[in-house]
Copies of this chain bind each other. A is one copy, B any other.
Amino acid sequence: MSTNFKPRNPDYDAVVRDSFSRQPFMAEIGAAITHLEPGICELTLPMRPGLTQQHGFFHGGLVSALTDSAAGYACYSLYPPDSTILTTEFKVNLLNPAEGKTLRARGEVIKSGRTLFICRADAYAEGEGESRHCLTGLFTMMCLMGKPDHGKRA
């Protein structure tokens, strides 16, 4: 299930991992990159009580937040050097409760344009050999050229 996308930045792997490492919220919740290739990014998040809603499942807002990040880094892997990324909009359907030991989110680019990238992304709650499809969504990311991926944006 690889894509045919060619990265415009030969250092895409280091650039994506560096950007991810500078997102304090991803560290706060405990998410890690578990797969990365041009146009695809997978993030994984272990369950702990602080991440739940009132039924003990991963909080739905958190599920979409993790999936948004997976979508963003799937797109960012295809960006040229010296650019940064912005989520323009997204939409998700929540398919099943996110009950499991880990939450896995996977983004895959379906269209790379000059400024806009469209990504499909899904989340799965997993544990004890089971994988439950929790969320599917579509994400639009904007590529901001010549803007650094750190510090305050002007």
Interface residues, chain A, with chain B CB atoms under 8 Å away: 19, 22-28, 49-56, 59-62, 64-69, 84, 86-97, 99, 110-111, 115-116, 118, 120, 133, 136-138, 140, 142, 149-153
In the bound complex, how far is the Cα of B149 from the Cα of A67, in angstroms? 25
Check if B64 sits within 8 Å of A51, measured CB to CB: no
What's the nearest-Cβ distance from chain B to residue A12, in Å?
16
Check if A23 sits within 8 Å of B140, measured CB to CB: no
Among B28, B52, B136, the residue within 8 A (CB) of A138 is B136
Copies in the complex: 4
Given A60-B68, A68-B64, the answer on whether A92 and B94 have CB atoms closer than 8 Å is no
Contacts A56-B151, A90-B92 supplied; 12 other A-B pairs, CB < 8 Å: A23-B52, A25-B51, A55-B149, A61-B64, A61-B68, A87-B94, A88-B116, A88-B140, A91-B138, A95-B111, A97-B153, A140-B140
What's the nearest-Cβ distance from chain B to residue A14, in Å?
15
Check if A110 sits within 8 Å of B136, measured CB to CB: yes
